[in-house]
Structure 1
Amino acid sequence: MDDMLKCPGIVIIVTAAAPEGSAYDFVSRIFVPKIGVDEDPVCGSAHCALAHYWSLKMNKCNFVAYVASRRSGTLKIHYDKKKERVFLTGKAITVMKGYVLA
């Protein structure tokens, strides 16, 4: 973690294509130590960026991603190139509820 704190930026995303024959398209880990989150267990917003990245690399729009954190998780991702939107599905745990007042 000490070395990650020296890196520029706030979020560090490590990703790689999954091995041939895997049930997954790519794997990832997400670190945000500068704001006190050593490792995000499963970060949906990071996978929105990863969807675009892997779409360019793999020339496809539907992915199954594995997050290799201690808690781990699987996300199904659809990247809509025309609308530039990402749709994420998977099992989730509610950790917080809130309201935004306009």
Structure 2
Amino acid sequence: MKMTAADDLLVVFSSAEEVENFQPQFDEIEKCPGRGLLITAAAPPDSSFDFYSRFFCPKLGIYEASPRGGVLHLQLDKRNQRMLLRGKAVTVMEGSLLV
């Protein structure tokens, strides 16, 4: 177990199957140090993915982000020292903020 820069607890599982089958106990996760729990494992060799991961943050009302699943395409921009993320998104709310 390690802590991420965002103060999340990071746990690396031995298989992607363990990540998929993980049954979170939110009351126990809330007792953990940090903001939330991120679990991850290397994808199976026959998969077209690099890793599987799930994130739980019941302290902030996020019980899983996202139970629908999804795919991220990552690209390292060395020149600008940035990681570029691409993927599909769903708009769940729109609004305006007046200040």
TM range (shorter): 0.5 to 0.7
Out of 51, 54, 58, the residue aligned to residue 33 of structure 1 is: 58
1:13 aligns with 2:10: no
Cα displacement (A) at 1:33: 0.6
1:78 aligns with 2:75: yes
SS at match of 1:40: coil
RMSD: 1.9
**Aligned length, in residue pairs:** 74
Identical positions, percent:
47
Q: What TM-score, normalized by structure 1, do the two folds share?
A: 0.62
| 4+ long deviations beyond 6 Å | none
Judging by fraction of residues, say which structure has more strand.
1
Corresponding position of 2:10: none
Unaligned runs of 5+ in 1: 42-69
- Give the 3 Å change call, closer, same or farther, for CA 36–93 of structure 1 in structure 2: same
Corresponding position of 1:44: none
Cα displacement (A) at 1:79: 2.2
